[in-house]
Structure 1
Amino acid sequence: MATSSSSSKGSRLISRMLPVAVKFWLQTQLDEIGDLTFEIQATDRQVLSGNIPGVSLSAQQAVYQGVCITDVTVQASDIQINIGQVLRGKPLRLKQAFPIEGQVAFDGNSLGTSSTESVLADGLLDFWQTLLAKEDVATEVAHHYGPDIAVFQDPQLAQYQSRMEILGTDLVLHLVRQGQSDLELRGWVDVEQGHMLRLTTARWCLPSGDQVQSEALSDFSWNLGKQTDLRSLTIQNDQLTCQCKIMVQP
């Protein structure tokens, strides 16, 4: 793991102790992390008051709660820490929430890996449950896939996993049982109001290979929660990239 500390020259506090504490804190937040570079933007006086005005960070091949991230570049601001305890050798702790803004990218392999056991996998199953609970969507699924499809006998999707992949500029969502896709939904994803995702030009991909436009999903949006602030979401060059702002909680 490679790190770079603050550019504030002559600062023993920042250049020696604080980067070690920050690095250790990052390791406690992430399952895995590859190449890591960060810069602490603060003076000694600010740090001694427990205030860090900014931290810029970039990393590759990080894993957060099972989600594999290909590349991340972010800027954090207004960080309040327990500096007194850090100076006594205690772990770094946050005293209040702070914002992070930046870019997170996922390639096809990362999405495939993250879709099995992670917070993303749980979110995808919640997404499918929400879809299939809509009467017009269930009617459409029964029409295209047959009324006896197994999802109707397993409304909690206990026997299912969801898998995500990128095809061209489309996102493809699979609902998988026993290694086979029972349902496959494909479309372009738009961001609305920062916390809503809309799957536009949504199409059901049938076992025959045909793709059928979904009328039931023409106005469907997925609410990620108002704590989420997505600025943009793009798919190109086999990579999903998100520009976003989030609040990190203590």
Structure 2
Amino acid sequence: MAQNNLETQTPNKKIRIITNVLTKALKLWLRSQVSQVYELEVEIKASDNEILSGYIPWVSIFASHAVYQDIHLTQIQLVAENIRINIGSVLKGQPLRLLETVPVVGEVIVEEDELNASVSSSLLSTALNDVLDKLLPEQCPKSKSIFYQKIILDHSRIILYISQPAENSFTVSEVCANIELLSAHELQISHIQAKNNKGTVLESHNGHYLNLGSDVDIQQLKLLPGKLVCHGRINVNP
């Protein structure tokens, strides 16, 4: 009888070990993608045969106060399905690697303090420069030399406080604009206002559109006082 119980339990124990190894490997891979994370939780749902074949049907990831490429993220809740990984290498202690593109669905929350901690990030500053080049080509002709001092989030509105070389009296120090989700791949920026220390130098109600690319599918974007909340999908490529 004892032998039968041992035979019954051994496969389950083996699969628990594999699941634990895989969970740890996934956590290590996620931690390698960020420079800092306060809390990280990973949940994997898969059968023994699926895991051993390198297929994971469902994974849930929760992280708080993570920093990715100097971008500070307050909270992330993600779900990924139909994941193919190099399970053979993982079981030998090698790093986890994706074998196919994985669609990831979830929610990202960025509070205003975290956003302001990200202004020195080349990723964020480059994105803001590109936007200013498009919206204010005459008022910010040298956007790459702009320093972003502070960002304020309000109801569907963002305010940028900036400094730039004072080559003339029209140097912009504040830019305000409304941001709305136009489609899953496009943002609309409107009601743009640029100011300097003498007052308003530009005011436009025309809409400008930003294409986010085919790898992004945003379902909801909320700009709230002190917080940005985004629901959607993004493709994670190998």
TM category (shorter chain) comes to 0.7 to 0.9
CA contact (8 A) 2:119 2:148 kept: yes
SS of the aligned residue for 2:188 comes to strand
Query: Structure 1 residue aligned with 2:163, among 172, 176, 183?
Result: 176
- 1:95 deviation in Å? 0.4
Higher CA-based Rg:
2
- Runs (4+) of structure 1 moved beyond 6 Å? none
Once superposed, what is the RMSD of the aligned Cα atoms? 2.3
CA contact (8 A) 1:68 1:111 kept: yes
2:224 alignment partner AA: Q
Structure 1 residues 13 and 44: alpha-carbon distance in aligned structure 2, compared to 1, 3 A threshold: farther
Moved more, 223-232 or 83-92: 223-232
- 1:42 deviation in Å? 0.9
Deviations 1:206-249 (A, max 9, x none): 4246696414xx12112222222111111224111111210001
- 1:65 deviation in Å? 1.0
CA contact (8 A) 1:125 1:161 kept: no
- Counterpart Cα distance in 2 of 1:195 and 1:86: 35
- 1:14 deviation in Å? 4.1
Query: Structure 2 residue aligned with 1:72, among 47, 71, 76?
Result: 76
- 1:130 deviation in Å? 2.5
Structure 1 residues 14 and 186: alpha-carbon distance in aligned structure 2, compared to 1, 3 A threshold: farther
User: Under a length normalisation based on structure 2, what TM-score does the superposition of the two structures give?
Assistant: 0.83
Structure 1 residues 17 and 57: alpha-carbon distance in aligned structure 2, compared to 1, 3 A threshold: same
Are residues 1:36 and 2:40 paired?
yes
- Counterpart Cα distance in 2 of 1:163 and 1:195: 28
1:246 alignment partner AA: I
Matches for 1:170-249 after TM superposition, within 5 Å: 170-177=157-164, 182-208=172-198, 213-215=203-205, 218-249=206-237
Structure 1: runs of 5 or more not aligned: 1-8, 142-150
Structure 2: runs of 5 or more not aligned: 1-11
Structure 1 residues 58 and 81: alpha-carbon distance in aligned structure 2, compared to 1, 3 A threshold: same
Structure 1 residues 211 and 14: alpha-carbon distance in aligned structure 2, compared to 1, 3 A threshold: farther
Query: Structure 2 residue aligned with 1:94, among 92, 98, 115?
Result: 98
